[in-house]
Amino acid sequence: MAQKTEEKSIWDKVGTIDYRIIYVSFLVLMIIPVLNPINIPVKVSPYGQAYYDKIMNLPTGSVILFHSWVDLSVWSDTGSILIATYRILWKIPQSQDITIIIYQSSSDGYVKTSQLLLLPYTDQYSVKPPQWRLDTYGQTWVNLGYFPNYANEVALAGFAADFTVTGTKDYYGTSLSSIPAIQRVMARRDPTTKINMYDFDLFIWGSWGCTDPDVFVRQFWTAGSPAYHTPMLFMTIGNCVPNAMPYVGANKPLVSFIPGAGGAAELELLLGYKGDGSKMADITDLGGVGTVTFFILGNIAFFGKRFLEKKKE
């Protein structure tokens, strides 16, 4: 005589979902944003808004020093910040007469920046300048190329006092002294024979070294006589937020900072495009949706089964 098998309740079925279904569900949720970012609504934080506004609202005639920071070991978390920052810079209207001086402090930054600047603008990773910038290279912007001063206090101190000591030519091998934009920046303040941190209205830089804000604040804010007090924007990873926070605020060294791809998604939202920041934010959000969904189903199955057993007693 065949043994009668007990029919499983709906709670048993929910509580014993095949683990392969769970894995496939998460895989699908991770793949969707990679193929086509959903751009799940992101709320722009005060830090993201302040970062964007500081660049866009600089007074006419300002000069920006931009550390085109690339570290390929953390590119997945910070590359989208760099790309978004470039796009904000290139969005500044020509009428504002903003001069932008770019440099890289690492070998991978030197190589990667030159690649990004050449990509067609239709490419999602392109940071190609607008045509009017391209037509006025050396007058409205300069790419200095490799200036080895990354988080080395001695090198940074010398760079802050006169960055022409660190390098004498731009990326293309042109002598800095013959570049109109460099000549104009030199002439802004005495002495007119060198460029130092007094000559810049904004310094944008990046690092994933969480103690580096201390170094840059010492050399670009408190150093100098009188102190340089150069306003800064900081690109970094999420882990460095606690180290950056003491320096952020009104009348403090850091006007704002962007922590990782999640912060980059805010800049992309302000710029109106979907990049890797949006993808990473979507992956995180959808992964959270999947986790919460299966957590709820598991609890429903557990308590539903207990309720059913009590009802049978």
Of 7-16, 173-182, 186-195, which has the strongest mean pLDDT? 173-182
Give me 2's structure tokens.
Answer: 């065949």
Instruction: Give the separation between CA 180 and CA 182, rounded to whole angstroms.
Output: 5
- Whether residue 102 is predicted with pLDDT greater than 70 in this model: the reply is yes
Instruction: Give the separation between CA 258 and CA 237, rounded to whole angstroms.
Output: 8
Instruction: Give the separation between CA 285 and CA 40, rounded to whole angstroms.
Output: 8
Listed residue (279, 277, 278, 233) closest to 258, CA to CA: 233
Calculate the average pLDDT of the chain: 84
- Domain assignment present for 298: no
In the prediction, which pLDDT does 210 show? 92
Query: CA-CA distances (angstroms) from residue 22 to 26, 248, 294, 302?
Result: 6, 42, 8, 17
Amino acid, single-letter form, for residue 74: V
Torsion angle, alpha carbons of 254, 259, 261, 266, to 10 = -60
The rounded percent of the chain whose pLDDT value lies above 90 is 50
- Domain assignment present for 58: yes
- Whether residue 298 is predicted with pLDDT greater than 70 in this model: the reply is no
Note the pLDDT tens digit of each residue in 189-246: 888 888 999 999 999 999 999 999 999 999 999 999 999 999 999 999 988 999 999 9
- Domain assignment present for 20: no
Name the β-bridge partners of 205: 234
pTM: 0.81
Instruction: Give the chain's domain count.
Output: 1
In the prediction, which pLDDT does 84 show? 95
Reported confidence tier of residue 106, pLDDT bands at 50, 70, 90: confident
- Domain assignment present for 184: yes
Show the domain range for 56.
46-278
Give residue for tokens 């926070």.
Answer: 245
The mean-pLDDT minimum among 27-31, 139-143, 256-260, 280-284 falls in 280-284
- Whether residue 262 is predicted with pLDDT greater than 90 in this model: the reply is no
Amino acid, single-letter form, for residue 277: G
Give me 137's structure tokens.
Answer: 């290279």
E strand map for the chain: 63-67, 99-104, 141-146, 202-206, 232-236, 254-259
Phi, psi dihedral angles at 101 (to 5 degrees)? -115, 120
Q: Is the peptide bond before 191 cis (omega within 30 degrees of 0)?
A: yes
- Domain assignment present for 212: yes
Average pLDDT of the residues in 115-144: 89
* CA triple 201-77-99, angle to 5 deg: 20
Please check whether residue 124 is in contact with residue 182, taking contact to mean a CB–CB distance below 8 angstroms: no
Listed residue (73, 52, 55, 71) closest to 63, CA to CA: 55
- Whether residue 288 is predicted with pLDDT greater than 60 in this model: the reply is no
Reported confidence tier of residue 1, pLDDT bands at 50, 70, 90: very low
Note the pLDDT tens digit of each residue in 15-60: 666 667 666 766 666 666 656 666 665 689 999 999 999 999 999 9
- Domain assignment present for 38: no
- Whether residue 12 is predicted with pLDDT greater than 70 in this model: the reply is no
Amino acid, single-letter form, for residue 226: P
Of 116-120, 267-271, 277-281, which has the strongest mean pLDDT? 267-271
Q: Exposed, middle or buried by CB within 10 Å (0-12, 13-18, 19+), for 16?
A: exposed
- Domain assignment present for 169: yes
| Strands of the 232-236 sheet, one edge to the other | 141-146, 99-104, 63-67, 202-206, 232-236, 254-259
Higher confidence at residue 91 or residue 272?
91
Q: Exposed, middle or buried by CB within 10 Å (0-12, 13-18, 19+), for 224?
A: middle
- Domain assignment present for 304: no
Instruction: Give the separation between CA 92 and CA 281, rounded to whole angstroms.
Output: 26
